[in-house]
Amino acid sequence: MNELVQYLPDLAMLICAGMVGGFVAGLFGVGGGTITVPVLYYWFTHMGISPEVAMHVSVGTSLATIIATSLSSSRAHEKRGSVDKDILKIWGPPIAVGAVMGALIAGMMSGTSMRLAFGGFLIFVALYMLIGKDGAVLRQSLPSAWWQRFISWFIGTFSSIVGVGGGALSVPTLAACNVPMQRAVGTSSAFGVIIALPGAAGFIISGWGHEGLPPYSLGFVNLMALAVLLPTTALLAPVGAKVAHFLSRQVLRRIFGAFLLFIAAKMLYGVLS
């Protein structure tokens, strides 16, 4: 009983992170990993797990969580007709290949390198939220199919390395090619499933038998954290998707961007110091 009471604050933190991550995934299409990865990282290091291992487990667990988040979010968007099946057919296979490659690359990276990559990624997302404009168009249509495959492969690879669903990269890319914002968000939510499934599997394989893993881990995926995050993220993702269709998001974008800058600064300071 005393052990259970000891972990109650951690449990509450994970539940809150899952709820916020699921809501953010549905609302912005940027993936709940922007929230869950740093929370998991600080939780694992608080448990005494080495930072080198903690970052890998945080990313792997985040990808496993995104499977449920993206499924729930994409279904909600599909009911509203905002998932573009034609884009999905072209982008899907390269994204899946990239996700596998990203997981394998991450398995060879140090925890410090992964924290630097994730911190840089958060800064990119934060700046996009703070100064980017929804629906900013750079060209009137998508590029050729080969360019689309290359772009989607890169998105899948990098997203798998940092443990996110890919929306932070794919939403602005699609919007810049004159894809309506709601369709860009809806289609990107489906990309999350394609990234998370092979990505999580890759982290399980690359971390199998690794020393210093937290209890109840399959490779770099922690089942204890997953059991808490899965239901909470899946529950809130449809709520975020509904809000995205009715709410002006400019104020929320600014708040979320400032919050991500704070997380990025804290993580990068910990690495560079």
Mean pLDDT by 10 residues, the chain (273 residues): 62 79 70 79 86 92 86 82 91 95 90 88 83 73 93 94 84 86 86 91 92 91 89 79 70 73 80 73
**Residue 252: predicted pLDDT:** 66
Name the 3-class secondary structure at 221.
Answer: strand
DSSP letter (8 states) at residue 30: S
Bridge partners (DSSP) of residue 222 are: 217
**What are the residue ranges of helices labelled H in 207-249?**
223-244
pTM confidence score = 0.82
**Residue 231: predicted pLDDT:** 85
**Residue 209: predicted pLDDT:** 87
**Residue 143: predicted pLDDT:** 92
